[in-house]
Amino acid sequence: METKMKTLSRSTLLAIAVAAPGAYSAEELEEIVVTADFRQTQLMTSAASVSVLGELQFEERGAQHLEDVLSAAPNVSWSTGASRSRFIQMRGVGDLEQYAEPKYYPSVGVIVDDLELGSAANAGMLFDVSQVEVLRGPQGTRFGASAHAGLVKISSKAPTDEFEAQLSGGVGNYGSYRYGGVVSGPLGEQVSGRIAVQQNKGDGYLENRALGRDDSNGYDEVTARGRLLWRPSDTASYDLAVFSFNADNGYDAYSLDNDRNSWADQPGADEQDTLAFTAKGAWQLGNSSLQATATHLDADLYYGYDADWVSPELCARFTCSGGFDTAQEIFERDRTQDTLEVRWLGGGETLDRGDLRYVAGLYANRNDEDLDYAYPSAWFGLYESSSRYQTERYALYGELEYGLSDRLSVSGGVRVERFEDDYRDSNGVAHDNSDDLYNGELSLQYDLSDNSFLYATLALASKPGGVNVAASSQFAFMSPEFQGFMQGNLRFDSESLFNREVGYKTRQFDGRLALRTALFYTTRDAAQLESWMWDESAGLWIGYLDSGSDATAYGLELESSFDLTASVQLFANLGWLETEVDEINTYDLDAGDFVSKRDREQSKSPGYQYSVGVRARFPAGFSGAIEAEGRDESYFGYYHDGKLDSYDLFNANLTWSNGDITVNLWGRNLSDEDYATHGLYFGADPRDDFGAWSNQSYYQLGAPRTYGLDVSWWL
């Protein structure tokens, strides 16, 4: 622990000792609004642990995707396991990867405006986005199972009442470039619209030595947004949005030597073609209002990779024991999602003594997914299967807020959900189930003064159980001992999460210091934990969710900024986390037997995280920032004891703007540190000189030193 704190202290001092871009003023801080709750709330008086990342942070990091900014939020981790980091964990809770499992409802939800992305979260692009809200802890009353452990909301920019247009583009190392355009403005007295389109492309950060290519892990992403806003009167508005995302990304991410050189002769792909529509209406009815939202999402998802990682070229250079397999694993999904929500809000804008506000709502969600799976292998032959998985969720919810005094208020919310699922596959496996899920929240909020706010919250959240799809489909092909273990694990139970939290937010020294802190303690009953087993006799990797254990977590989040002068601002975001899984039973690859692991830290739960730095404004339109970020080591699975090492990264940018034109020079991971974002443990290396087929840890590396120049021009 002493070594961890020394590393953190050195990084903090270094970041605060250097100067760089544009600081928020106290007035600007007051305008930061959290939109993910029933009512919009100022960040400094929201009764939750929330990070709001805006265009300033996007600019400082040269961010194009959600994964480029998430590390700025305390106690937020992510796993790659794909071409993008679409698997998010908050306070140690969240999904780690996706193969055959549907994952409509990840523990941490990602939404774009009102659209739930679920397993289509690769579409978390930041072009023409106003802000990203990161809500830690269960959001059960508002979102139910869609935000069991937290939520990330991406808010796109709305149509404007005056005409504006923007052209933007940029280039960077590793063959990266992007270009896009935005047009927004009135289409009549009551109608305004906005269209934004961008292409983002790059070669990736890996060399494929077998094929002589440097783009086998590259990305090619096209994002398009369109919105129409119609306000026929002062009491009614209608919002129609279209969202399209097309990704033709490679997936060639792992190396036998844990470097950036691949020997795969069949590099994979992570492709997505998503089209979604959102329609929203709002009507003001005296002191109350009615809101209705409907969404439709249609996504074609292709995910495949070279399952053996090797090629004839490797075994021509080295001696390979037993030769090598030629195998791929391929997942082709066709997914549709429909949601409908109607909500009634009543009461005034304030919560003074005796004031009452209320919310009542109905929600429905249906997901259908067809999956075609294939595993062609020279050693094990061709295994194919197809499946259909359907789920339905219906919810009734309500919330009351009451002003006990002019400074003290209380709120309580309840959400009851009905969950039903149905699974069928080509191997004759069939399951259906239903669950009743209960979510609730009780919160006290107290204005200590005009500048300080205190809250205390109790929140109960539930996540549905379901089918372990891959394990059910593979069951007939497993070895007898694995069949015996999995017999009681073909389904996983619903999980209950109970969070206790207190928070304090304040602004001091004439608004120059902004401080937000939260202390939490969370317990999970029947915690849904991802695990894996290797059945060597059958040649099967068996992935499943294990719900046989309970888990706990507690920790602290702190976010602060201090205006040192009118043009220099210091900032520090810190997270501390302690987690424990009571007991999990799994198969140990090294022992070759089933084992029980007790009092184990949760996967992807680093003990500390930080993002600290300084930003400044300079004369003649220049601004800049220097930032240090890092995190502690953490386990990356339960079937082994491998860990992702701790790391420290440094980022910086320099911007010039004259109001119409902005030029931004940015760099991330300037020290070019190798660090891992995900890991696997098994025997993959056939080379005799490297311990042929011995179990080893393999890491998917994060981005190396990247830099670029972006230009935007407002017409």
> What is the predicted pLDDT for the residue at 192?
97
- Tell me the HSE value of 580 on the side-chain side, using a 13 A CA sphere: 8
CB atoms within 10 A of CB 84: 22
Q: Which of 236-245, 292-301, 475-484, 664-673 has the lowest mean pLDDT?
A: 475-484
pLDDT tens-digit readout, 644-662: 999 999 999 999 999 899 9
Which residues, including other chains, have CB under 8 Å from residue 545's CB and lie 6 or more apart? Answer: 101, 466, 468, 492, 528, 529, 530, 531
- Asked whether residue 9 carries a pLDDT value surpassing 90, the answer given is no
Phi, psi of 416 (to 5 degrees): -115, 125
User: pLDDT confidence of 617, banded at 50, 70, 90?
Assistant: very high
Q: What's the angle, vertex CA 236, arms to CA 230 and CA 241, rounded to 5?
A: 40
User: pLDDT confidence of 467, banded at 50, 70, 90?
Assistant: confident
> What is the predicted pLDDT for the residue at 30?
52
Whole-angstrom distance, CA of residue 59 vs CA of residue 653: 8
DSSP state of 73: S
Whole-angstrom distance, CA of residue 363 vs CA of residue 343: 9
What's the average model confidence in pLDDT over 589-595?
87
Q: What's the angle, vertex CA 442, arms to CA 439 and CA 443, rounded to 5?
A: 135
Distances (CA, A) of 682 to 201, 222, 349, 522, 637: 33, 36, 58, 32, 12
User: pLDDT confidence of 15, banded at 50, 70, 90?
Assistant: very low
Extract the tokens encoding 684: 């993959």
pLDDT tens-digit readout, 264-317: 999 999 999 999 999 999 999 988 999 999 999 999 999 999 988 889 889 888
State the burial class of residue 376 (Cβ atoms within 10 Å of its Cβ: 0-12, 13-18, 19+). Answer: middle
CA 67 to chain centre: 7
Paired with 53 in beta bridges are 132
- Is the separation of the CB atoms in 674 and 706 below 8 Å? no
Instruction: Give Dmax over CA atoms of the chain in angstroms.
Output: 81
User: pLDDT confidence of 628, banded at 50, 70, 90?
Assistant: very high
- Is the separation of the CB atoms in 131 and 43 below 8 Å? no
- Asked whether residue 8 carries a pLDDT value surpassing 70, the answer given is no
- Tell me the HSE value of 592 on the side-chain side, using a 13 A CA sphere: 4
State in Å, rounded, how far the first CA of the chain is from the last one. 53
> What is the predicted pLDDT for the residue at 22?
35
Strands (E), 252-407: 261-262, 268-285, 288-306, 328-346, 356-377, 381-403
What's the average model confidence in pLDDT over 419-433?
87
pTM to 2 decimals? 0.92
Side chain identity, residue 274: T
- Asked whether residue 490 carries a pLDDT value surpassing 80, the answer given is yes
Highest-confidence segment of 35-39, 357-361, 422-426: 357-361
pLDDT tens-digit readout, 531-554: 888 888 887 888 899 999 999 999
The residue assigned the tokens 């995900």 is 678
Average pLDDT, the chain: 91
Paired with 531 in beta bridges are 544
> What is the predicted pLDDT for the residue at 61?
96
Match domain 2-714 to its CATH number in 3.40.50.620, 2.40.170.20, 3.30.70.360, 3.40.50.2300. 2.40.170.20
* Choice between 703 and 637, residue whose per-residue pLDDT is larger: 703
Side chain identity, residue 316: A
pLDDT tens-digit readout, 115-152: 999 888 889 999 999 999 999 999 989 999 889 999 99
> What is the predicted pLDDT for the residue at 590?
85
